[in-house]
Amino acid sequence: MRATPTGVLRLLAFGGLAAVLLILVYLLFAGGGGADYHLEFEDASQLVPGDQVQVGGVPVGSVKKISLTPDYRAIVTIHVDSSLTPLHEGTSAEIRVPSLSGVANRYVALNPGPNNEPSLGNGAKLPASRTKGVVDLDQLFNTLNPRTRKGLEQFIEGNAELYAGAENAANLATGYFGPALNAIDHVFSELSSDQKTFTSFLVDTSDALTIIGNHSQHLSELIGHSDTTFQAIGAQQSSLARGLHELPGALSAGVKTFNEVPSTFHALRELVDVSKQDTKTLAPFFANLRSLLQVATPTVRNLSVAISSPGPNNDLTDVALALPGLAKALSTGSPDNVRALEESVPVTAFFGPYSPDLQGLFRDFGLDNGYYDANGHYSRVSPAFESFKLNSSNELKPVTPQQGLEGLKTGQLRRCPGSATQPASDGSSPFTDEGKLSCDPTETP
């Protein structure tokens, strides 16, 4: 029996439809690789399915589903691409937003654990102790009573009137809020870590205020003298304004200094423990030191006279004050040299990041193969080529020279500073100086 042309066309149409259905089923259920993980948060912080999952600002997945536990916690199911899986123990997650005032574009920021820790399989769960949500402005405002919220509204309106016409200066000042808040947070964390000492401080403060109250007459005199002092300060408005202008830089330096204080105290404690054995020799040392101080006293007095002698133009202070004028005279006296140096900056700036490499080349040329790259990382390179490899039967077999060279890269002649090591997760290396260096950031190990 011979099939008619119409029957053949029907069979071809059914076959094509079946192939399309099979392709759709494969695309829907086969997936694209990677793994799913469940993250437990105190709340979902207005996340929605489809929001990105990022590592160091680079998208590596998305939010698949958000569900609620019986104790009203959020379980956020994410899918991580195969390029990052599997994750390892020590991984943490945080919900972040582009700005405090926004409610859109929220994403999950992953901080992967070290690769030498056990891996987390598909479907693993990160507990709430490894996650961190977002504190919204609405949550903050809801903690305030109506009277406080009204006062805050009036405060904001008053600041708008105060900074009208000075928006640029106000925006510049906000850049110093972050260090100040970090310092305040550090202070309160130290207070909270030792409640007993803090309570004793409050009790002692109360006793001190009681004693001050019993000396109200002396306090009134102190306030009167303070008024006189402030009047004298007010007469120096230009100096005060100059001091306030320099204050933000001083505060920033102070924040950095205070952040280093705990480590300094730790080192000081170790120094004291080590020095306890030497305290027995301190008495004879101080006895000998007294004669030294007697000799050094006139020397220090003479140094003080040299630095600041009465009268004009006769000490080191006057010399230092004259240096700016000398520098100005030199800059105007050699305009061609000054202009040549200024115009050479764009050319010589390229070699700045590579200065450690150049220094190591001249210092250690021909001695060893260790050097410092532009980010300061010390590297010792020793070529090693595999002579044997495991085959499918888990046996060592010799390899050909061509197989031993597999995986090596050649032609990397325009490396950027910091590309001798693996790129940092924060994107600080390889260093391109915002594209100003004529190097190729893709040339990495």
- Which H or E run contains 33? none
Dist. CA 156–CA 159, nearest whole Å? 5
Nearest to residue 120, comparing CAs of 76, 86, 156? 86
Inter-axis angle of helices 177-193 and 237-259, to 10 degrees?
Answer: 50
> Quick one: tokens of 222?
């102190």
Residue type (1 letter), 63: V
Dist. CA 328–CA 338, nearest whole Å? 11
Please list the residues that pair with 164 across neighbouring strands.
none
Nearest to residue 33, comparing CAs of 97, 104, 85? 85
Pairing type for strands 74-80 and 35-41 reads antiparallel
Span 132-152, pLDDT tens digits: 887 666 666 777 788 887 887
Residue 86 carries which DSSP code?
A: S
Q: E-assigned strands of 365-430?
A: 370-372, 378-380, 388-390, 396-398
Ordered by start, the domain boundaries in the chain are 35-136
pLDDT of residue 278: 73
Residue 95 carries which DSSP code?
A: E
Residue 89 pLDDT > 80, yes or no?
A: yes
- What is the gyration radius of the CA atoms in the chain, in angstroms? 35
Dist. CA 89–CA 119, nearest whole Å? 6
Dist. CA 296–CA 316, nearest whole Å? 20
Residue 40 pLDDT > 90, yes or no?
A: yes
Residue 380 pLDDT > 50, yes or no?
A: no
**Residue 388 neighbours by CB under 8 Å, 6+ apart:** 396, 397, 398, 399
- Which H or E run contains 320? helix 316-333
Question: Is 292 or 98 the better-scoring residue by pLDDT?
Answer: 292
Residue 298 pLDDT > 80, yes or no?
A: yes
Nearest to residue 89, comparing CAs of 129, 42, 41, 32? 129
Sign, CA dihedral 426-431-434-438, equals: negative
What mean pLDDT comes out for the span 415-426?
A: 77
pLDDT of residue 25: 45
pLDDT of residue 14: 60
> Quick one: tokens of 82?
């195969």
Span 215-255, pLDDT tens digits: 777 777 778 788 788 777 777 778 878 888 888 888 888 88
Dist. CA 189–CA 173, nearest whole Å? 25
Phi-psi region of 233 (alpha: psi -120 to 50; beta: other; left: phi over 0): alpha
- Which H or E run contains 92? strand 92-96
Q: What is this structure's pTM?
A: 0.30
What mean pLDDT comes out for the span 272-277?
A: 77
Dist. CA 373–CA 370, nearest whole Å? 10
Query: Are 400 and 388 in contact, with CB atoms under 8 Å apart?
Result: no
Measured in whole angstroms, how far is the alpha carbon of residue 96 from the centre of its chain?
A: 16
Helix segments in 163-277, DSSP class H: 167-174, 177-193, 195-213, 216-234, 237-259, 261-275
Q: What percent of the chain has pLDDT over 70?
A: 80
36 exposed, middle or buried (CB, 10 Å; 0-12, 13-18, 19+)? Answer: middle
